[in-house]
Structure 1
Amino acid sequence: MPNLDDRTRRAIVSDILLCTRDGQVDRVRFGTFAKLGRKYECNKRTIARIWKRYKASVAAGHVGGDVSSRIKGNSGRRGFDRAEVAAKVKAVPIQERRTIAATAKAAGVSTGLLQRLLQENVMKRVTSTIKPALTPANMTTRIEHVLAFIDERTCMFEPMYDVVHVDEKWFYEAVDKNTYYTVENKEPPPRHRRSKRFIQKTMFLAAVARPRYDPYKKTKFNGKIGIWPFTEESVAQRSRANRPKGSLVTKNIESIDSHVYKDYIINKVIPAIKKVWPRGEKWKEIFIQQDNAKPHLSPNDTDVVAAGTSDGWTSGCSGNLRTHRISM
């Protein structure tokens, strides 16, 4: 907080004199210092010191009292030149500027000074993330993929209403911290694990498309095709504390190879698309878009083409389902 100037000090003395009893300087109403501290945005002890100096100067014979500031001219430590400090920071290699402490030590300044530079926006804290190392062939493939969605007649970007995006997602069985809203001081439900560092997770295959309005159903198609876990059921060979022998146990599929992925595409994704796809757009050629992971399928896989062209999706003006692979 800046120091009080002489005009403010005189105003404080005048306000205190108005709050004295019968004009006696030793009889100030209770709460006056706190009230004036809030008014002038300073501590009540500062008000008390100014009043004490006023009474001492009056007692010493000074007419009107002396409460002027004792700080004359330039005082205190000289401030740091921000440009000079910024130049010192720039001279430090960027690899050594990972933390405030390391940057301050390498630049020869204090950590508090760097904190002030951050508050004054002289310095900024930025984040760097790892980006894929693209070869010229990767860049060309990406440009060709983007240009394939531009209409040559209108130069407008394709709305991609005929594309279904599929991708794998990991989900943990539980998270360490859950938030609940309770009433009447009810305790949250107990949650116990042998170790919170080793919580099992399961891979899911998700398929989504662009939301749109379906005029035949007179409702909005939300674009959610479905999500399926990569799990399998097996019969328990031994009894345990939580289940008897012979009960069904759901386990994660240990290896997600091309055979498992093809089975999910043919028996889960394609039937789900045929079931929920808007009726008025079944004549289009629908693409199942996937990335370039090794288990993923090629666009000309005969089994997938056969599954996509079945159930009457190839007769008349109907469309078919094909996979489309993107090279990242």
Structure 2
Amino acid sequence: MPTANLTDDERRRILDELLKQSVGGELPRGVQARVAREFRCSDASIGRIWHRFRETEANDGLGEWKSRIKQNSGRKKQNRDKIAAKIRAVPIEERKPNRRLAHATGISKYLVQALIREGVLKVHSTRTTPYLTNNNKFRRVEHVLAYIDPTSLMFD
């Protein structure tokens, strides 16, 4: 009868019950199953709690019963200093767009966005195309007009 993960309070109460019923540090036959039914969890969960408590008690005298899920779950954080060093190694021209920066450094696009959000990376806008001056606009229109054939325009 699997249920959600046991909380530390539930684990502590289970361990207290097991310690009350233990004889000379050993559990009598059937105690583990009885405690499992009482707390509505599997026999294996009770066995793991008891085994870990006994093992840590033998090693350092202090029995450990708390869940290790909090320390061991989730994606591990990456070292921001190493990432910043990788980014500094990439030439400035190759840092835009973020996709190119992610590919050049070997980190994910999501992490690049997260670094920008956290303020580790700063966004600098670049001018990729020059502004059109009046002279440039005039020359572009002249260039386009050279390709227009007046006989092909039939709007009537």
**Alignment TM class, shorter chain as reference:** 0.3 to 0.5
The structure richer in helix per residue is 2
TM-score (structure 2 length as normaliser): 0.43
Find the structure with the greater CA-based Rg. 1
Larger RCO, structure (CA 8 Å, separation 6 or more): 2
User: TM-score, normalised to structure 1's length?
Assistant: 0.21
